[in-house]
Structures are given as C-alpha cells and as structure tokens.
Amino acid sequence: MNSVKKAVIPAAGYGTRMLPASKAIPKELFPVAGKPVIQHIVEEAVDAGIEEILIIISEGKEVIKSHFSTNSDLEDRLILRNKEEELKEIQKLSNLARIEYQYQPEQKGLGDAILLSKSWVGNDPFMIMLGDTIINPISETQKLISSFLAFQSNIVQVREVAPDQVSKYGIMDGSFDKDKSLYKVNKWIEKPSQELAPSNLAIAGRYIFTQDIFKYLEGTGLGIHNEIQLTDAMQAMLRDNTCFAQVLKGRRFDIGNWEEFIKANIELSDFENL
C-alpha cells in the first residue's frame, strides 16, 4: 500500500462556539503560541511526510488562502527594514506543501466536507486532520501513519476523555489487540449519552482512510443535527473493512472552545524566549 502523502483539512465550519470573535476571523486563524491554528496543523502534516494538502473552506474564509500565499509587498517591506527572521517565517508559509482549496457551498456536516475531496484524493490513502484541533507532540501523527502502513488498515486516533464528556464526541467500542498495541474497532457511536457510551475513547481528530470511505459517505443520509456525519460512514464501513484505533500519547487541544484555546496557548508557548 502506498504511503500517506495527502491530507484533507476541513475548515469550513461557522465556529459558533467562538463567537463573536469568529464572526470575521476564522477560528482556524486564531493565534496559538504565536501562529494560527491551521499553520500548526499544516506543519504537523509536513512533519509526518504529507506533501499535498486540500483545505475545505466556505465563503468568507478566503483569508486562510491568503495566509499561505505569497505576499510580495510584505516581503519587500521586511527586506527594506532588514527583518530577516520575519522574512524567513513569511516565505516558509508558501513553501510548506502543495496546498489546494475546495469550497463547501452548504454547511451539511463533516461527512459532506470530506466527500467534496473525493476527486482530489483519487485512489490514494489520505489523512483527515480537523482544522480546529492541535495535537501535541506532532510526532503522534507520524506514528499513526506508521501503524496504517504496518497493518494495511484504516486507522483512527482516539484519546481518553472524562466520562461526563463522551456526549461531545464520536466514541469507540473495541477490543485491545496486545500484539498490535491497537484497538480493533467494533463500533462507532456519535455523541452517545454517558449511560450508553461503550468506552471513554473519543475520536481525536486524526484519521487515515483508503478511498473506500467515499462509497460509504455517498450512502450516508442526514444524521445528528441534520448533517452528514463522518462517524456514520465509518460505522457502515465496518461491515466490510477492518478499522483500528490508536490511543494518543499526548494532548489534543480543541480550539473550538475558549477553555481549550487558552490552555493551548499556555502549554505550547515558550515564555522563556518571548
């Protein structure tokens, strides 16, 4: 099986939990430790060997494209002012990876956003990296790719959450395989109640799939919140395909809420060098 060289980053959501700050500024551009959330994610992808990235955006989020595009006027100004370090940082942005963009015309859920990437993905395996989620350390993403290649199977990164938080996430029901140090997934449940949750292992925002996932997304109807849920397609795919889950050995920051945003800035900032 080919190595994973493509990543899809969904970044089209409204960011309602971060209003009013997210009304004009996409939450994916909120600064964490001195750089936008989505830059952290793109750098994480590149560190793991990803070469091509498709960012799913919506109307009003064109500024994300601007962040990764060349800005000649700014570069000229930095050159005139001898700001060499700042110039290097700005120039690096447009050379991180081959980044393309796809508009999601209607907000119909994560599953719909991923389905829009079908023609771009083609027959290659690919990673999904949620655009408002920072993983630390970023080496965990390379571990996920290594496991995908070793076991030739779809794989999802999961993390432990408090029992009273399971209703916020897609939750895994599975059995631990000691030989592989992974869970074999038996079932995915989207946002279950605490009483019905089979575990406290929640999807952490990093997935690796083959192109088979698109067949199941195409057959998935509207689910929770009247949206096409990726978790529903993942559940349907289990009928015909094995899926493993790898537990995150680190931290996951959900920048879709203020508490996590603040924690991420505190934990990821190098205050000694500020």
225-269 pLDDT tens trace = 777 889 999 999 999 999 999 999 999 999 988 999 999 999 998
Residue 124 lies in a domain: yes
> What is the end-to-end Cα distance of the chain in Å, rounded?
44
Q: How far apart, in whole angstroms, are the C-alpha atoms of residue 125 and residue 112? A: 18
Q: How far apart, in whole angstroms, are the C-alpha atoms of residue 32 and residue 232? A: 32
Tell me, what CATH number does 162's domain have? Answer: 3.90.550.10
Residue 139's alpha-carbon distances to 48, 135, 136, 149, 249, in angstroms, are 7, 9, 8, 16, 10
Residue 1 lies in a domain: no
Residue 44 lies in a domain: yes
pLDDT, residue 273, reads: 53
Pairing of strands 243-247, 154-160: parallel
Is pLDDT above 80 for 272?
A: no
Helix (H, G, I), strand (E, B) or coil at 72: helix
Provide the domain count of the chain. Answer: 1
Question: 201 lies in which domain range?
Answer: 6-273
Contact of 107 with 93, CB cutoff 8 Å: no
Q: How far apart, in whole angstroms, are the C-alpha atoms of residue 21 and residue 196? A: 35
- pTM for this model (two decimals): 0.92
Mean of the per-residue pLDDT values of the chain: 91
pLDDT, residue 94, reads: 87
pLDDT, residue 13, reads: 86
